[in-house]
Amino acid sequence: MMNVSRFLKNVILIELFVPVLLLTVGIYHGLMQVIYRSGVIHKASVAKLDYYQGLTLHGVINAIVLTTFFAVAFGHATIAFYLKKEPGKKATLLSLLLMVIGTLMAAAAMLSGKASVLYTFYPPLKAHPAFYIGTAMLIVGSWVAFWDWVVVYIRWKKENREINTPLAVIGTLVNFTIWFVCTLAVAYEVLILLVPWSMGWTAGVNVMLARTLFWFFGHALVYFWLLPAYIMFYTMLPKLAGGKLYSGMAGRIAFFMFLLFSIPIGVHHQFGDPSIGRGIKLSQSILTFAVAIPSFITAFTIAASLEHASYMRGGKGLYKWIWKLPFFRKDVYLFGYLINGLILFIFGGLTGLVNASYSLNNVVHNTSFIPGHFHLTVAGPVFLAILGMSVFLVSQLTGRKIYMPTINTIIPYLWTVGVLIFSAGLMWGGLMGEPRRTNMGLTYLDPANELYHPYWVISSMLGLAGGGIMFVAGFLYFIVFFGTFLRKRTAEPMIDLPVSESLHPEKRIPIFDTFKPWVALMVLILLMAYIPAISDALNNTTKKAPPYKPSDPTPVVVK
């Protein structure tokens, strides 16, 4: 248990409140996407919000704004709780201001319809400069928080040289090291390529270079989303289940393996890009399979930890022990959020191997299979960990009890059912060639249109059914979150994270308690993976592209 200063408490609460408030817009547009795509609406816009404008809001708010704010808030809580040292006030305040102002700038551009460039903001789709500058400010704000934590960690380590760094701190610093390195590429893309182009200072942009820089960032972003959930899996889930962590060392190995392999695999998103050579694509495919190893380590370690917890509760048998776990207990509701995330991630990881394969990827590339897959990961362990921990932190930092605790316990299970139905529909449709991103209500699922495609009706309706269930679960979450925030205080504000003890005593092994050799190896692998890819992007591209709108196949005329 740790009593936190009023300043840090307020910062963490703001960093939770702002993205959750924006999430109401993100989830609404998520529902609208499945309604459009199912053919229920045969329009390009509803309530003066265009389909692609809503798609951009949904992706950017859910995948960039929410995850970045939460990762910083959770990082503040983790560093302060485990190291017993609060981050510096000036750096923390500067970080918060940059993130909030940047988010508001980007949101204003999207809401005004001047930044309908989707979550990937691929050129030649062109946004207002405020979108690019605001996104850059959000990223820089998170950097400020990270470097301040590094200072806190170095001070703590000088005082505790022979003590193992807490696993949660290792995970947090690994996560933000990945984030800092991968965002350097997207910062270059935004500030050097896109902002001058958006302002009209340059006439065209190298699309292939921009895409390559984005995916240097874009796939590592997935692990930036995931690692807070992994920290919870290792350091909290065994405790919540009533047992101990089977191996803390396995967690350290997994985190450092993510540091090595999570960034240099972004080119597997570009298997369809002709400018990237086949040899580079082959090496990227192999590296992508390598990043599955720490996930397998985690799966076996956490499964063993949960089995041990069940036996402590009286569980028996090869499979019956599972039912002794506290699935619906209101006092350990975090268990429900985390275990459902793990269940969804099993399917997300397996379908991700399809994307990693060069040959199989060609079958599903740019089909609805892709969002079906990544909703199993982003809307699975990532989103459920964020929902559960945000309610947990708000309750502790305000000293207020959970509002509607029974509903809070049901939310992750309802959400899981929705995601499974939604993703099954999208992946089934993708295997039949159903496109992603497209407003199918205007074409393929409009019976009056010559492009009407009846084979996609059932799969898109499954997507609609699953999306509807997810929307209901999200609506219930907002009731619980804001209801908890508005209740009367019944206890002193604090941070008291559930801490899982290791099942076996583990000696300190210096190489798994230091960052320098791992960072050096990461840089080496990155250079080997990306120098050839960037070289191809520069040398195999001829004309620079003029700007386009997502709803129009002709270039915008620059006056």
Q: Taking the mean position of all CA atoms in its chain, how far away is CA 430?
A: 22
Euclidean distance between CA atoms 474 and 66, whole angstroms: 14
Angle at 80 between CA 76 and CA 83, to 5 degrees: 135
CB 85 within 8 A of CB 79: yes
Euclidean distance between CA atoms 351 and 347, whole angstroms: 6
DSSP 322-353: GGGS-TT-GGGHHHHHHHHHHHHHHHHHHHHH
CB 122 within 8 A of CB 270: no
Burial letters 28-55, b for 16+ CB under 10 A, else e: bbbbbbbbbbbbebbeebeeebbbbbbb
Q: How many contiguous H segments (helices) and E segments (strands) does the chain have?
A: 19, 2
CB 414 within 8 A of CB 494: no
Active site members: 219, 223, 373-375, 436-437
What does DSSP assign to residue 320? G
Residue type for 82, please? Y
What is the SS3 string spanning 234-302?
HHCHHHHHCCCECCHHHHHHHHHHHHHHCCCCHHHHHCCCCCCCHHHHHHHHHHHHHCHHHHHHHHHHH
Euclidean distance between CA atoms 329 and 340, whole angstroms: 14
- Give the number of other CB atoms < 10 A from CB of residue 113: 15
198: Cβ contacts below 8 Å, ≥ 6 apart: 126, 127, 128, 129, 132
Which token pair is 98?
A: 């940059």
Euclidean distance between CA atoms 349 and 188, whole angstroms: 30
Angle at 72 between CA 474 and CA 526, to 5 degrees: 110
